[in-house]
Amino acid sequence: MRRYETIFIADNDLSEEDRSPIFEKLKDLIQQHSGLLVMVDEWGGKKLAYEIKKKARGYYVRLDYCGSGILVNEIERFFRIDDRILKYMTVLLDKDVDIEAVKEEIAKAEEIRTDETESSDAKPDAEPDAESNADDEPEPETLENK
């Protein structure tokens, strides 16, 4: 099995509800072709270097997945058919990947993500800490203080 990265640009005018069927279709394609979805990394809306299909902005998404060449062909076929996708590019990351190592990587990333959310929920606010540190600093000496 090989590891691929596909970056695609969707129409920025789509709402979250309009984008979610695209992601669901991609997940279904990966499952149908015995692939493994490692990560969906949404970069968000950005200005394009040049207009594509008369659009100045696009919604960037990076897919990291494992599968075969047939899976890549199906994903790219879906992108060619769907008018909501402006551009796409697929890159081969690794020719022979160990699936168990990738699953461990996914588990570690998920663990880190849950730890970060728990720590951000436990920490009430960063501003009071900043204020308490400001009070600990000595006042700068001026002519009036001497």
- Residues 3, 97 contacting (CB under 8 angstroms): yes
Q: Where are the domains of the chain?
A: 2-97
Mean pLDDT of the region 90-109: 83
Is residue 110's pLDDT more than 90?
no
CATH of domain 2-97: 3.30.70.60
Q: Which of 49, 37, 40 is nearest to 86 (CA)?
A: 49
Residue 78's contacts (CB-CB under 8 Å, 6 or more residues apart) are 25, 26, 29
pTM of the model: 0.71
pLDDT of 132 over the 70 cut:
no
Q: Return the percentage of the chain with pLDDT > 90, whole number.
A: 42
Q: Is the pLDDT of residue 47 over 90?
A: yes
Amino acid identity for residue 101 in this structure: A
